[in-house]
Every structure is written in C-alpha cells, then in structure tokens.
Structure 1
C-alpha cells in the first residue's frame, strides 16, 4: 500500500512539473526557463525536481515520451483499408497539433536550438515508423523503399504542413487538411 501511495505522489509531482513547463513555454523561450522557474510554478521544491529529473531537458523528453506512447497505441482496425488507416493517422496528428497549438506555435518561434524540434521529429518519426512496419507485416509485402527513409520523408512533410497550418491560423478544417495531405500521398 505504501508503494502505491509513493507511486501516486511521484505521478502527481511529474504531472505538476510537466504542466508548469508547458505553461512557461507559452510565455518565454525554453532556453530562458530555469529549473527554479519550473519548481516555483509547480510549487515543488528543487530537490524534489532533481529526484525525478536530471534537468529541464529530461523533463521535456519525458513529456514528449508520454505523448509518443499515446500515438504508438493506434492500431489498424478490422476491415479498415490502408488508405483509411493512414487518413486516421493524419487526422490524429492534426488533432494533436490543434489541441496543443499554442505550445507548438510558441515553442517554434522561441526555439534557439534544435532540442525541442528534435523531440517533436522523433515523436512523429517513431510513430510513422511503427505504422509502416505494422502495415508491412499485415500485408506481407516488403516496401520497395526502406521504412527509415519513408518515416523520415513523411515526418518532414507532416511537421512542415502542420506548422504551416498552425502559423496561418488553422483556416482550413482538420477534415480539409486530412484530404489535402492524403491527396499528396501516392497510394
């Protein structure tokens, strides 16, 4: 029972720290945010922070890892065509970007190094890599292009298009963006 209580406290502390960092990134560049800033915002002592994380970069990586885990859980549904499956993947990426639009727009304008951009690219690339591998396994037909190359290509395209959409005020609906991106993919 005591282990369960400690685990819940750890989860709560990590959630508070993640939420604090998220809110701070909306206000100023990530590079200017200190561990002290995060701790004050989360109302957590610095020693507690360092029990969980080495630095703010590890906290940010943990935040992205959690989101990556959510993406990776998407599976092809029974009777779903390949095209429907990939449209659903594209939709999920746009919905995710829409839900966190302020974070992405602010962090994109504040990025002075490639750390945050690298985390985002890694999250999307890992997600797409897994989708392509599942599709290859399901169909039993190996891709003519290595999966690593396909994942990198579509990651770059997806991130560029999503950022353009967010920075231009999301004037097209998610449905329209899914249609546009799907039309550009060679089936």
Structure 2
C-alpha cells in the first residue's frame, strides 16, 4: 500500500505546479527559472529542492500526476452490456466519455498550457496514448471481429484518437464553450454516425 502524502506536501506541490503552469502560459517554458517558480508560489528555493531536482523534474512529475489521474478516472471504460445499450442512443453518451472531459475541465489551464506549449511534446504524447487505449477498448467492445470493420483496426484507433485529441485542444483553446456532456455527446455521435444527418453521397 502506497504511503499517503502529508496534506502540507500536497499543498506545496500544488502551489509549485500552479506557478509553473502560470509562468509557462505567460513566458514560455524555456524562459522561466526555479527562482521565478518559487517567487510565484511564495515559497523558498530550499522548499522547491525538497520536492524536485529542477524545473524539468517539476514539469515531468506534474505531467505524470495529471495523466495518472485521467487514467484512474476513465478505466475500465467498457465492461457491461448496458454500456452497449447506451451507445445506441446518440444523445446519451457513455459515462466514461463525460468523465474524460470532466477530468480535463478540472485541470483545464494545465491541459491547455501543456498541450499548446511547443516544448512539452511528451505531455501530448502521453495523453494521446491514454486516448488510444480508451478508443481501442471501445472499438473492441463494439466489434471484436476485425473482419466486420471497414478499415484495419489499428488505423481506426489512430484516426479516432488523433481526432479526439484535436477536439480536446480546440475545446480548451476556446475556453470550453460547451459542457462535458455536450462534448461527449458530439464525439460519440460523430464517431458512430459521422457528421451528416443524411448521407450526401446518396442524394
């Protein structure tokens, strides 16, 4: 069993993480220093080095923590027949789709900064891997037989995962104009049915 962190430690790390996110948003990752971070967090440098080796260590650990929280909130996504019944209705998104957007919304500023900052590519890579696993699980639940798919399974998984990630980035960049449920509903609808009410190729 993992040791529970002292609330003071949690608060200190949260302050440092928030400071890092704010400064990256304002100045870009490369320009900020540990001194900048500690000043913004109203902590001293000695306190910083009790928790992290340098600013890269803070960046990496905060990324891992956020991604771990996301994984914990959406797994396992598909387990019961009732899940499939929900997917039949385009206006009732699977709860895990909603959880995905809820979790992003909780830490929206961090996600927005880490996904759009060019010097933090591994955060987007880590998030994409989580979405790939999520999509793979969903497609397998819906149709485990490769022979009944219109394209190779790996191609479909990568296509939808990349689309999901771009939709999340768009949502964040536009200050989350829609609710988590609305976003989940639209993603489910376009994934299952496509963007057209009536197929334009058969008019």
Unaligned 5+ residue runs, structure 2?
88-92, 147-151, 194-203
Given that residues 131 and 161 in structure 2 are in contact (C-alpha distance below 8 angstroms), is that contact kept between their aligned partners in structure 1? Answer: no
CA RMSD of aligned residues (A): 3.5
Q: Distance in 1 between matches of 2:17 and 2:86?
A: 34
Using the size of structure 1 for normalisation, the TM-score is 0.69
Aligned residue in 1 for 2:174: 168
Between structure 1 and structure 2, the one with the greater Rg is 2
Given that residues 30 and 107 in structure 1 are in contact (C-alpha distance below 8 angstroms), is that contact kept between their aligned partners in structure 2? Answer: no
Unaligned 5+ residue runs, structure 1?
none
Using the size of structure 2 for normalisation, the TM-score is 0.65
SS at match of 1:44: coil
Structure 1 runs, 4 residues or longer, greater than 6 Å off: none
Q: Distance in 2 between matches of 1:169 and 1:20?
A: 20
SS at match of 2:13: helix
Aligned residue in 2 for 1:183: 189
Given that residues 70 and 103 in structure 2 are in contact (C-alpha distance below 8 angstroms), is that contact kept between their aligned partners in structure 1? Answer: no
The reply to whether residue 30 of structure 1 matches residue 12 of structure 2 is no
Q: Map of 1:111-122 to 2, 5 A cutoff?
A: 111-113=117-119, 115=120, 117-122=121-126
Alignment CA distance shift 1:83-1:164 (3 Å): farther
Deviations 1:20-60 (A, max 9, x none): 21333343322222111112222333244234323222212
Q: Distance in 2 between matches of 1:133 and 1:176?
A: 22
Alignment CA distance shift 1:11-1:107 (3 Å): closer
What is the total number of aligned residue pairs between the two structures? Answer: 177
